Chain A
Amino acid sequence: ETGVTQSPTHLIKTRGQQVTLRCSSQSGHNTVSWYQQALGQGPQFIFQYYREEENGRGNFPPRFSGLQFPNYSSELNVNALELDDSALYLCASSLSPEHNEQFFGPGTRLTVL
């Protein structure tokens, strides 16, 4: 059984640029959630994708957007990067939006200069 994978592992961008992060869900999981973990903080929910549509969103501006593909993999896009976007971005998958247990990937460390 393949776990949740994310790419890239690390990324350095400059302010104002755009970035795309990728996530492959665990085998059999159709629901993907994205979280932002700033330094010294717990992960914060950005949004969730289910059946290729956004299924719920946290308190993040519209420049954070996403996609889910038919194979359940997902992308997180961030436009107009700001310094405060520097964080570890975590992807988590679950069997369904109703299934309480989520499995996390290793994360992508984004640094914005």
Chain B
Amino acid sequence: AQSVSQHNHHVILSEAASLELGCNYSYGGTVNLFWYVQYPGQHLQLLLKYFSGDPLVKGIKGFEAEFIKSKFSFNLRKPSVQWSDTAEYFCAVNSPRYGGATNKLIFGTGTLLAVQP
């Protein structure tokens, strides 16, 4: 079955520390990749997405992610986190091959990031 794995369930960092959250997926073929963020009490928001082209994508709020096809990975990075980055982060994938007629997303289990001031 298709799946998305996020290796870190809870991450605690101090402000200004660097962040890398891992994401691996189990699909072959063409995939579209996403990172969503859910701030406390707010709805899921798109951080960044990769459809094709440059495998290093930049998103909002200084986040970036690198698609490494050979490793089936799409890790999220930020050079220096802020207290306001405290949130839950979800990696998601969709695939024309596995979605059928839909653009359904397959999500990882999420990583809860706590940034200490």
* Residue from A33, A98, A99, A105 within 8 A of B43 (CB atoms): A105
* B105 and A43 within 8 A (CB): yes
Q: How large is the interface on A (under 10, 10 to 19, 20 to 34, 35 or more residues)?
A: 20 to 34
In angstroms, Cα B1 to Cα A94, docked, is 25
Q: Chain B residues near A2 (CB, 8 Å)?
A: none
Which residue on B lies nearest to A41, using beta carbons?
B109
* Residue from A41, A44, A97, A104 within 8 A of B103 (CB atoms): A97
Return B106 CB to nearest CB of chain A, in Å: 7
Q: For chain A residues 13-69, which have a beta carbon within 8 Å of chain B?
A: 31, 33, 35, 40-45, 48, 50, 55-56, 58
Given A41-B110, A42-B107, A42-B109 in contact, is the A97-B102 Cβ separation under 8 Å?
yes
* B43 and A100 within 8 A (CB): no
Q: Is the interface of B mostly helix, strand, loop or mixed?
A: loop
* A56 and B105 within 8 A (CB): no
B17 within 8 A of A: no
Which residue on A lies nearest to B36, using beta carbons?
A104
Q: Besides the contacts A35-B105, A42-B4, A102-B103, what 13 more A-B pairs have beta carbons closer than 8 Å?
A: A31-B103, A33-B102, A41-B109, A42-B92, A42-B107, A48-B104, A50-B101, A55-B101, A56-B102, A94-B103, A100-B32, A101-B46, A104-B44
Give residues in B with beta carbon < 8 Å to A: 4, 32, 36, 42-46, 49, 51, 90, 92, 94, 99-110
Minimum-distance CB pairs A-B, first 8: A42-B107, A56-B102, A104-B44, A106-B43, A45-B104, A48-B102, A100-B32, A43-B107
